[in-house]
Structure formats: structure tokens, C-alpha cells
Structure 1
Amino acid sequence: MQSGKSYMFRLFTAALAVAALALPALAQEAGETPEPRVWASRGQVTVGDQRIRYTATAGETFLRDSDGNPTAAIFATSYVADGTSDPRTRPVAFVFNGGPGSASLWLHMGVFGPQRLVLPDAMDDGAAPFDVVENAYSILDVADLVFVDPVGTGWSRAIGDSEGSDFWGVNEDGESLAQFIRIWLSENQRWNSPKYLLGESYGTLRIGSLLNQLEGSYTDVSINGVALISTVLDFRYDDTSDGNDVGYVGLMPGYAATAWYHGKVDRAAWGGDIEAFLTGARTFAIEEYMPALMHGVNLPADRRDRVIATLSRFTGLSEVFLDRANMRVSLQRFQRELRRNEGLSVGRLDSRYTGVEVDGVGERPETDPSFYGIDGSFTASMLDYFGRTLGVDLTEYYSTIGGVRGWNWDAGDSGDNNYINVAPWISRAMRQNSDLEVLVQQGYYDLATPFFAAELMFNQPGFDQERVHFRYYEAGHMMYIHHPSLLTMTDDVRALIAD
């Protein structure tokens, strides 16, 4: 497996450091066809000045092979608002997280669903009880919502003669979720509704694969818009494998944002304006840093010294360290080095978070403090909500993240490269569907899917720039855990759907 292709998978499995647990198989006698398990309930939520009453349906949808045999049970939670007589007037949004191997609880309980987990201001969720409230920022006012857990996540699993590995890959995952979407549209008679895909992290790559599956065949499902939340489509732009210098360039403005947040740069020199500072970082990255890396050992000594000095002023790292690193600082080294003298590392998913490091000379963080600072609260809140509010009485193991392994990173005709790149599928979909709008949502302090890497990718030929809309937040990978960013990001998604 190529290191670039395993990037997101290693991120989450290493962060959790848990053994993959197999989901219990659905008990069935020989020759017996199981039935999907489904729970329906009623609910309501106030968004703005609108009280929305809805039907919630949590349960399984069976995928089937060409002979009609069930192959997988996809667990999804749908919210359909009352009062829609004409499906053409009511959009539907399919929502999923990433990993690969993550259930959709983060976007479900964190931002879009009718109830929301409220995290404490301190960057540590602690232990139960956790605060769950009616979500005044839900987007149920503009769209029905379907939160989808791919095979191996949540309670979704392979059934019949299938195995999880049949669904664990860029194309395999896209094919299974495309089948789920077609089934859902048919069962709910929503083929003529406006359709949106909302995905986070690997979920953005999943959107690329889904657009290939849904719009790349003769039986098209045309999509009105997609929200790419913490985008990773072309791994070249943030992977620092040997020889891929562009990865350092994609990361560098994210390093600068992190140094700004932790007070390791001269803010006064930029008038205290982070936007001006990051504009300067972008310009330096493209016009000075990248050419210097391309010159390699032939870079003149005086020019090397100037680039290192400027790089130090933007990243907060010492000139001596940058010189010894040959101006190439991997993400894990940056996480350790920025606040090493204080015995701290910074987070990867959200570099505002810090973790205490016992090993003062290590090159990499013990783990990611921006993940262990939130994971317990989301799992507990999601499962409590399923049981108490939606009436789901399952006691099987619920895989928040970590139950998927052996991912097939071969993306087929996405291109002959050593790095996954599904961007061509999105640009093709835009060329063939003039109504497709793309919202790109990036946190400045996200070092897992850096904002500048996304910019570099969308700057490439093939995209209709008038239909690509970037929005930025002073937060990390899960920008919605930062309350001011929650407000603006939901407004941005609402505008994508409502406009």
C-alpha cells in the first residue's frame, strides 16, 4: 500500500489505538432471509422562527446483488419534515463522515441533526454526563436529512455471503453508497427532489467517488450541490512522502495559522489581522518556498538563508531547526517542535488543542489531543440519543471508528498516480452538470486536511471556478465544535441548499 494512499486510514486508526472489532453477524438460520430492522418515531425542532415537525426513521436498508440476495445492511437515520406535498420543492441531503471507517455521528450530533452535543469551552470533553440540546442550527428548515453509516461503521455490516472487505475501498464504498441512495430515493419517492451530498474528511473523497458512480453512468442521479467539509481529494498536496515537496507547500500556511494561534509569531507586524497574515503565508509558499524546494541542493546559500528566515517568521520554528530539516518539516515533527520547550504537542485534527508529552525528545506526538478531547462525548451522546429518543434497542457493538481495515485505495480511472486523486471525477461532474455547486469548507487550524492543500487542488484546470465556493473558519477539522464557526458553517450549507 502506498503511503499517500493510506494517509487518512492511518490517521484515525493510530489516533484511537484500538483493535478492530468485528460486528456481530445477524443471526439467521440456514436459508433464511433476514428482515431489515427499522424504528420510526416523531419529533420536532425549532430552527430560527420555524417549528419543524418530522418523522425520524432509524434502521437498515439491505443492499442486494444482481440475483437479489442481500449483501449488506446499511444503517441510516432519516429525518423527513411534515407538510411537503410536492417533492420538487423539498431538497434531501445525504450526510456521511469519513475515516474511512467512521460512522456519521460527528455530523449528526455535532452540527446538522435535530439534537446537538454541546462541548465545554475547555478542550477536553471529560466524562458523562454530556449536554445534548435541541439544535437551533439544524438545516432541517431547508432539507430532509439522511445520515448514512457505510459498511463496517455504526451498525452497518456485510450480510449473507459477503464480507466487509467487499465494501472497503474507494470504488467499493462508492458503489455501495450509490446503491443505497438509489434505493432510498425509490422507497421515498424522491427522485425529483433536489439532491445534496454533505461529507467530512474522507467523506469528501467519498463524494468524488459517489459523483463518479451517480453521474458517470447512463442511469444518472444528478446532484444539485455538495459540501466538502475539511477537504481531501488529491493526496499529493498534503502528503510529505520522499520526493513529494508539494506536500510541504500545502501544509505550510496551516503551520503558520497554528503558530499564530499559539502566539509563536509576531502578530503586531500584521496588525493583528490573521487574514492578512495568511495571505502573506500563501504568497510566500507559492512564490518563494516552493521554488526553493524545487532548486534543491542547487539553491544559492544566501537565498536559502532568506527563505529559512522567512519560513521561521511564519511557522514559529527556529532557523536552526529548519536548516537541519532542509526546510522540509513533516506534520508530526511540526506537532512536536512548535511547543517542545513547554513539554506540549499540538493537535493534528485541530491544532488549537495541546497534549502533554512525557518524552521530551520524541519526533512524533504520543497521540492526537484533538481527537481524544472529543471522542467519548460523541459516542455516548449518539448511543443515548438512539436509545432514549429514537427507540433503537440494539445492544450490538456500535463502531464509532476503527472497525474498517485493509482499505483498497485503487481508484481505477481516477488517474495513474501514486497518490489518490478523485478531483477529476468532481471536475467532470461539474462539466456535465451545470447545476452542480461545490462548497469547500476549511478550518484554518486543520492540519489533517489543510486549507491551502484544498486551494492548490481546486486551482487546477477543469473546475468551473464560479461554482466553487470556499469558506473558512477559525477552527480545526471539525469546525463545528467551535461555536462561532458552527453558526457560520451551518449558514453556509443552508445557503448552498436554499439559494
Structure 2
Amino acid sequence: MMHFSARRLLALSASFAILASVPLSASPGWADEAAKPAKSAPAETKKDDSPFSFKPQQTVSDGTVTIRGQRIAYQAVAGTLIVHPKGWDDAAPEKTTKPEEEPVASMFYVAYFKKGVPAASRPITFVYNGGPGSATVWLHMGAFGPRRIQTADDTHTPAAPYRLVDNDDSLLDVTDLVFIDAPGTGFGRLGGKDKDKAFYGTDPDARAFTDFIAQFLGRYKRYNSPKFLFGESYGTTRSGIVANMLAEDKSIDLNGVMLLSQILNYDNTIDRPAANPGMDMPYVLALPSFAATAWYHKKLSPMPSDLPAFLREVEHFALNDYNSALQQGTALPEAKFNEIADKLHQYTGLPVDYLRHANLRVDGGEFEKTLLGEDGIDTGRLDSRFSGFSIDPLSQHPYYDPMGSALGSAYLSAFNDYAREVLHYGGDTATGPYEEYKPSAHSIGKWDFHHEQPGMPSSKRGVPNVLPDLADAMKQNPALKVQLNQGYFDLGTPYFEGVYEMNHLPIPRKLAGNIEIHQYMSGHMVYTHAPALKELHDNAAAFIRANDNLPN
């Protein structure tokens, strides 16, 4: 799903000193002598001065962070790797296009390697946000990087100065981390003819990430490390494809896939289900998140005291009575219609008359406008704990996401300082021309959502359903484990939608035990709520330890 829309952002500092700024061809090898400090390069050897050079780049720095009482020394590498679209072959004897016309993408990343650990004894986790077309500043500076931006919990974070702190919930205690920005975002750039078409699409994007990961493993000698993916939002869609592509195209098995705020089948989205009449599951799957939001804003009477227990009740009603009523359509008897409307009012706090006029079907935007609408306030979409004044109180859907506006400036301002002052990337007086960090590719209007499902070359669906991709990866690698993490207050990718999709993966029942699910008292970006971030860290760390295949 789109990660915010207008006001995108980033984050700031990590306490480590710069060591060297070297070309990638001279990069140190983090292998059996993993994370040795890089040798200082000659003064004249540094990152290419061209801000848009399609050559691999890197800067290297050192740092330390204390996580749960454990002091960890690490090396940070910020840089770019170069990827090409499907069919590109650097060994092709004949080229029909000029090199400058060939589509190409430099993908920006920041990697953190714990010092003194052999590669085969240290897991590596590839981390990315979604969008599609979003940079990974959110997970980097809000969740798992060594430094974390502090923001208000469910209200607008005041303007600068912002505060970065050592991240007690970084995953560096259990795994090396590689934060990858999508093509066209961060300090990465696209070039060549038809560059947007070459990278802005469900399958081209997944292929770029697959090639990036394989290339990274080779450059940093990490092929024999336990390997994990961690994707958020559209990043879960991407992970379903990448997990299978890595196995099919690169013969790379993963140890585990971690999903945060999942959407694998876009037929289930609650954003605009009216465009797909006859498909009523989005209303069913969003209802528990509507109920959680109404509970949070105290719009229920009586107010349940135990939210998880209340939501189990709503889930049962949604899958049974509510689902049955919607499936009957206009054949639903009027008495049953009114009964369901009354029950929906009890669970959502929405007016009964409104629910009747909506034909028992309220989409995400309509709910966000209506729950607090009498006060001229919209709830957040990605995190409905947030709320903000309506731009147009009479509109059917909100014009902005209050959560995005509340957090955006903090993340963007912080990361821009962090990248330049700590990672020494992006241009300053020492390292060359200023480069813009792009939190979004603004590619949603250009995105080709068609997806070719595995084994079905003619299955180009108009909206992606990557359940078959993840299922194929699990069936071919029966040891592959999957972890789903979800926030109760997420109206962008409702938590019950993810549960439903996990229960409908086309896998043998024996493999269902490979999946674990965790829910949190937070929204789409679970980590913006500090207690939820601690739980997320502990669950992800336990998942990695349980599946890294390392001796105890």
C-alpha cells in the first residue's frame, strides 16, 4: 500500500565515527573475518563526485550501540549497487542500443555489520518498506537501525529540533542489517530509455530487489550466512515474490520471511472495494480494525474492557453472520438486513442510518471520515489512533493521512542530517556535490500492478495476488518459516486481512505450522508505539534465533 502520500520524510544520527570513503571495487570482504574495519583509502580515492553516477558507490564508518545491555561494535556501509531490468546481459556480444539508452537503476542501501563475527555465524536480514515506490527510511530510523527518531505516540510531533537516540530495539543484537531503498528513491536514481517502465511495476520491482540481494551476497561474501527478509506494507507483497524468485532464479534459499502489515492479495483491500462489486471480503476483513479504532476513540457503548477478547468476538461475527449477509446481496431479508446494521453499529460506533444507507458496506476512507466526523475530524488511515482536522468535512474520503502529517517531517529531517553527518553520504563539504534524498519515487500513477504468478505465464492479473509465490517458496523449501506482524489500528492493511491470507495460502496443511502471527496495540508502522516496538524486536529476534540454523 502507499506509504503516506504527500509529506514524506526521513531520520537522523547514529553515534559512530567515519573511517573511510572508498570505491566499492575496493570494498572490504565481510566473510569469515566478518566486519573487519575497512582500510583507510588514499585521500584522492573516494566516492565518485558525480551525484548521479551509475557506478557502485560506498562510504564506510564505525559505530557502537547498546541493545538490551549488550554493547555492539559495528561497521556501517552506505552505498549503491547497480541493477538492470529483465533480459539484460553484460556479456551479450551485440548491443542494439547505446549504453546510455539502456535502462539502469542505482539502488541505495545502508548496511550494518557486527564486528568480529564470521559471516557463516552471523545472520543477515534485508529490510525494506513498501509504497510501492517508498524509501526505507521508516524501518531504518523508526524500528531497527542503531539510532531511532523519537516521535509523539499518537499526535503530531512538534517541529524541529528532533531527537535521535540509541536504539535499544535495533535488531543488530541478532542479525546484520541491510536497509534497501526501492528503485528511484533515496540516493538511488534511474537512467536510460523507458526507465520508469523498466522498474515501476510489481514484477520489475521484485526482480530488481532479487538481483540486488544476490549481488550484495556476492560482493560482501555473505552467501553462507543465514538469510532473512523483513518487508513492510507493499514490502510484504514484494517479499512474497522475492522469496520465490531468489529460490527459482538464483538458487538461494531463505531461512525466514518476516512480514509487517501484510497485503498479499489486492482483491482484499478496503481502500476502494466498490470498484470490485461482488467481492465483499474486504468489508468482512476490515471490520475488526474498524471495531478496534472505535474502541480506541471510545465510540462504543458499552466499552469492552479487553480489546483482544472483543476483537475475537468481532472476527467471529465478521466471518459468519456478516459474511453470510453480504453474500446474499439484495436477497437478504429486510429483518436480517436491519439486524446486521444494528450489530455493525454496536461494533463500529457508526450511526445505524448511515450503515443502512451504505448497504452495510463501508470502505476505509468512509469510516475514517465518519467515525469522528461530527467534530470535523478524520482518523488516520495507516494508524487510526491518529486524527486530524478535515480539509473538506463534506468529502467522502479524507484528503490526507493524519499519521503521515504527524510523523513525516521528523523522519525526513532526521535522516537527511544522519546520512550526511554520520554516514557521510549525500554530499557535504568533504564528500562532494549535494544529492537529494528522495523518500518517494512518486511512482504510484505509473505503477504496473500486473503480476505473473509462478508456473502461470499467462496469468497477468490486473491487481497482484502473490499468495502462490509465497506458497511455492514454502513448498520448495519446507523449512522456510514465515512471521506475520500486525497492528490492530491499521486501516491500510487491516490485521484480519493478513490472518485470512495466511489461512488461505495454497500450501499443505502440514506447512501451516511454519507460520506465526503477532498483533500489537499500534497501527501500520507498529514501531511508532514504543511498547509495541519492544514487542516487535523481541518477536523478530526470537524468530531469527529459532531459524538461523546456527549451533546454540
Q: Output the CA distance in 1 between the equivalents of 2:280 and 2:238.
A: 26
* 5+ residue gaps, structure 1: 1-7, 19-25
Shift of 1:161: 5.4
Aligned pairs for 1:122-141 within 5 A: 123-141=155-173
Which residue of structure 2 lines up, in the alignment, with residue 170 of structure 1?
202
Letter matched to residue 245 of structure 1: D
3-state secondary structure, aligned to 2:479: coil
> Which of the numbers 103, 108, 113 marks the counterpart of 2:145?
113
Does residue 497 (structure 1) correspond to residue 518 (structure 2)? The answer is no
Q: In the superposition, relative to structure 1, how do residues 420 and 122 fare at CA in structure 2: closer, same or farther (>3 Å)? A: closer
Corresponding residue for residue 117 of structure 2: 84
The Cα offsets for residues 312-369 of structure 1, whole Å up to 9 and x where unpaired, read as 1001111111011100111111111111111111110000111112533321113110
CA contact (8 A) 1:12 1:401 kept: no
**Cα–Cα, structure 1 residues 277 and 34, in superposed 2: closer, same or farther, change >3 Å?**
closer
CA–CA distance in 1 between the matches of 2:190 and 2:426?
A: 20
CA 111–461 in structure 1, closer or farther in 2 if over 3 Å, else same: closer
Per the alignment, in what secondary structure is the counterpart of residue 168 of structure 2? coil
Q: Identify the residue that residue 234 of structure 1 maps to in structure 2.
A: 265
Question: What's 1:400 paired with?
Answer: 439
Q: Which moved more, 1:250-259 or 1:119-128?
A: 119-128
More displaced stretch, 101-110 vs 407-416: 407-416
Could you list the per-position Cα deviations for residues 262-281 of structure 1 after superposition, in whole angstroms to 9, with x for gaps in the alignment? 1111354x4x0101110011
Q: CA separation in 1, counterparts of 2:516 and 2:371?
A: 32
Aligned residues of 1:237 and 1:249 also touching (Cα < 8 A) = no
Q: Deviations over 1:36-64 (max 9, x none)?
A: 33110111111122211111110111225
Partner SS for 1:183: helix
Paired residue secondary structure (2:172): coil
Asked whether the 8 Å contact 1:101–1:402 carries over to 2, the reply is: yes
Once the two structures are superposed, the pairs formed by residues 422-437 of structure 1 within 5 Å of their partners are 422-437=466-481
Deviations 1:425-483 (A, max 9, x none): 11111111122111100000000000011111111152422111110011100010101
Query: Percent of counterpart pairs with the same letter?
Result: 36
- Of 34-43 and 187-196, deviating more is 34-43
Find the residue that maps to 1:106 and give its secondary structure: helix
Of the three residues 250, 254, 272, the one matched with 2:285 is: 250
Structure 1 residues 384-393 or 319-328, which shifts more? 384-393
Return the alpha-carbon distance in structure 1 between the equivalents of residues 49 and 541 of structure 2. 42
Q: Secondary structure at the match of 2:252?
A: coil
Structure 2 equivalent of residue 67 of structure 1: 90
**Which residue type is aligned with residue 190 of structure 1?**
R
Q: Does 1:349 align with 2:382?
A: yes
The reply to whether residue 207 of structure 1 matches residue 246 of structure 2 is: no
Aligned-pair RMSD on alpha carbons? 2.2
Q: Quick one: which amino acid aligns to residue 277 of structure 1?
A: F
What CA distance in whole angstroms lies between the structure 2 residues aligned with 1:58 and 1:17? 21
Q: Secondary structure at the match of 1:145?
A: strand
C-alpha contact 2:67 2:169 (8 A) present in aligned 1: yes
The partner residue of 2:527 within 476, 480, 483 is 480
Output one character per residue of 1:140-165: Cα deviation in whole Å (capped at 9) or x when no partner.
01110111112111111124556233
CA distance in 2, matches of 1:373, 1:429: 38
C-alpha contact (below 8 Å) 2:489/2:522 kept by paired residues: yes
TM-superposed deviation, 1:35: 3.6
> Counterpart of 1:231 in structure 2: which amino acid?
Q
The total of aligned residue pairs comes to 477
Matches within 5 A, 1:89-488: 89-121=121-153, 123-159=155-191, 163-217=195-249, 219-239=250-270, 240=273, 241-243=275-277, 244-268=279-303, 270=304, 272-357=305-390, 359-394=392-427, 395-405=434-444, 406-413=446-453, 415=459, 417-463=461-507, 464-488=511-535
CA distance in 2 between counterparts of 1:311 and 1:108 reads 39
Partner Cα distance (1:446, 1:202) in 2? 14
1:46 aligns with 2:60: no
Distance in 2 between residues matched to 1:242 and 1:236, nearest whole Å: 8
SS of 2:171's equivalent in the other structure is coil
C-alpha distance in structure 2 between counterparts of 1:232 and 1:379, whole Å: 25
How far, CA to CA, are the matches of 1:33 and 1:308 in structure 2? Answer: 59
Distance in 2 separating the partners of 1:172 and 1:361: 40
What letter matches 1:167 in structure 2?
A: F
Cα distance in 1 for partners of 2:80, 2:499 equals: 38
Give the superposition deviation at 1:27.
8.8
Shift of 1:120: 2.5
Aligned partner letter, 2:70: Q
Q: Taking structure 2 as the reference length, what is the TM-score of the superposition?
A: 0.83
Contact 1:230 1:441 in 2 (8 A): yes
Q: Return the offset for 1:295.
A: 0.7
Change (3 A) 1:456 1:481: same
Matches of 1:402 and 1:151, distance apart in 2? 8
Q: Tell me the TM-score normalised to structure 1 length.
A: 0.91
The AA in structure 1 aligned to 2:269 is D
1:60 counterpart SS class: strand
When structure 1 is superposed on structure 2, of 140-149 and 417-426 the one drifting more is: 417-426
- Of stretches 64-73 and 323-332 in structure 1, the one that deviates more from structure 2 is 64-73
Q: Residue 377 of structure 1 aligns to a residue in which SS?
A: helix
CA contact (8 A) 1:157 1:164 kept: no
Q: Is the 8 A contact 2:7 2:408 kept in 1?
A: no
Q: Do the aligned partners of residues 207 and 257 (structure 1) sit closer, same or farther apart at CA in structure 2, a change above 3 Å counting?
A: same
> d(CA) in 2 for partners of 1:140 and 1:197?
14
> 2:181 & 2:63 partners in 1: Cα distance?
21
Looking at structure 2, the residues matched to 222 and 311 of structure 1 have their Cα atoms a distance apart, in angstroms, of: 45
State which drifts further: 316-325 or 414-423.
414-423
Q: 1:253/1:183 Cα in 2 relative to 1: closer, same or farther (>3 Å)?
A: same
**1:37 aligned to 57, 61, 66, which one?**
57
Give the AA of the match of 2:451: A
